[in-house]
Amino acid sequence: MSDSNSASVLPSISDRLALERTYLAWIRTGLALMGFGFVVARFGLFLQEIQVIRPQVQTRSFGFSLWFGTALIAVGVAVNILSTTRYLTLMKHLNRGEANFMRPSAGAVGVALFLAVVGVAMAIYLVWV
């Protein structure tokens, strides 16, 4: 005898498409993080160019922009990798009829906390330097 709670439910096309939309949103987020990281990393190079072109303009230190930018690029790559593994795992569960998606996304919480820390660090850096 099977319990009504353990009965498998076949996924509908809307479930699959919703999962794919979420996956594509994570891919866009990863690409945006990588693009923004590239811009932040190259900001130091931009300041160096200004210093060469106009030596009378005083620019402050720009050493941390490379580290912040590289961190954002690395997080963007990690987001894309983790979102792919999460998508494949959820699709496998969906195909099996397992519909236990009640826990929050650890990836979303982790990315949000990391971006908050990087944002605070960048704000402190901009005020300090």
99 near 123, Cβ under 8 Å? no
Q: What does the DSSP 8-state code read for residue 63?
A: T
Q: What does the DSSP 8-state code read for residue 12?
A: P
Which conformational region is residue 117 in: left (phi greater than 0), alpha (psi within -120 to 50 degrees), or beta? alpha
pLDDT beneath 70, residues of the chain: 1-10, 47, 50-51, 55-63, 99-103, 129
pLDDT at 118: 81
pLDDT at 4: 47
Mean residue pLDDT of the chain comes to 79
